[in-house]
Amino acid sequence: MPRFQTTAVHAGRDDFNRLCVHAPPIDLSTTYPIPDLDTGSASFDALIAGEPSAANPIYARLHNPTVARTESAIAALEGTQACVAYASGMAALAAVLMARSRHGRHVLVVRPLYGTSDHLLGSGLCGVEAEFITDAGQVAARLRPDTALVVIETPSNPTLDLIDIRATVEAAGAVPVLVDSTFATPVLQRPAELGATYVWHSATKFLGGHGDVIAGVVCCDQAHAAELRTLRATTGALLHPLAAYLLHRGLPTLTLRVEAAQANARELASRLAAHPAVSRMFYPGLPGARGGHLVGTQMSGPGSLMSFDLRGGHDAAARAMARVKVMTAAVSLGATDTLIQHPAGLTHRMVPEAARAAAGITPGLLRLSVGIEHVEDLWEDLAQALAD
């Protein structure tokens, strides 16, 4: 079997020789000619039932070849039977929640996690009742007969806590576990190998990697994927083929980008930890990090996201964001450039204030998504932004 780096370059390209192409083709058709009615009817039945393909795609809401190639590539990277792609990460999460609501209303959620995920789970919009806990060690004790899903994010957003996936799966027993692995990517962590039923990514981030595509993916086995495909076809939450092309195009450099950004992050985190303006660091690669023992086992490295609390609180955080020159003050993460943002005021603004405080999301907390620029340029930019 090819090694990960080779798979990242070649996955999803199995039909390229037959098609006589070198770059992924973009199929923009919304509808497909039907050679005969029997074939068309059989294809429609197969696709609406969640089959990965059929003799005829029928209609782009049911199937698109460009999207299917991208899904195949990402499934290969995660080591799962299937991948189902959506128009955004939130559309992907909503699909899983709707699918699981047929099996029970109760969903157990470990905080912290991405703010909009927190909001969607707590809203009840997808037919589930979320119970939030702050310690994955409580999972077994909080299960109910109607528990349909356990949701964890590791590393967590924005405090970079690491949760033991295998232990959580064991605690959940027969209840499926969904892991948001956006921060880690399959370069550093593959939750399905540890027993997770669903591996979810905001593919907008590292998988796309260039800040020019919004997408979400769920990697899982074929049985769960069929249910998700049916929901996608019915609700219309499909990924556009141009977005799928951009996502596929970013995968060959995924390993290079993640490793380069991680090398920068290791250096910046150690320097920030010693900076007088910083009261607390959140980075899995530093001593004392919550779940840090999982680096080198569950995760092959600590990644390139970090957060740090400024002694001057909200005003100091706002001042630092306004002062950066090399970095970009913006939400999102996983792009080639370094992004800095304020969780309490932006990505986690919809999370209840008490829950933010309990998770350590303070007014002085800044989150840094480290890019692949030269590390000294990044440090000089940070140093001047944090200066008195």
Residue of 118, 161, 164, 180 marked catalytic: 180
- Residue of 205, 229, 257, 266 with catalytic role: 205
Told to judge if 337 belongs to the known catalytic residues of this protein, a careful annotator would answer no
Token pair recorded at residue 117: 């995920």
Q: Is 198 a catalytic residue?
A: no
Look-up of token digits 């690669």: 285
The SS3 of residue 133 is strand
Residue 114 catalytic?
yes
| Structure-derived torsion over alpha carbons of residues 98, 104, 108, 109, reported in degrees to the nearest 10 | 10
CA distance 383 to 388: 10
Structure tokens at 388: 């008195």
Query: Could you say which of 114, 198, 245, 283 is catalytic?
Result: 114
Distance of CA 327 to the CA centre of its chain: 22
Query: Cβ distance 207 to 254 under 8 Å?
Result: yes
- Which residue among the candidates 13, 61, 111, 367 is catalytic per the annotation? 61
Question: Are residues 215 and 243 in contact, defined by beta-carbon separation less than 8 angstroms?
Answer: yes
Which amino acid is residue 3, in one-letter code?
R
Copy the structure tokens of residue 362: 């303070």
* CB of 305 closer than 8 Å to CB of 265: yes
Active site residue 32: no
Grouping H, G, I as helix, E, B as strand and the rest as coil, residue 288 is coil
Number of Cβ atoms within 10 Å of the Cβ of 73: 25
Of 104, 179, 105, 110, nearest in space to 141 by CA: 110
Query: Strand pairing partners for 369?
Result: 305, 339
* Spatial contact of 308 and 277, defined as CB atoms under 8 Å apart: no
Which positions are catalytic? 61, 114, 180, 205
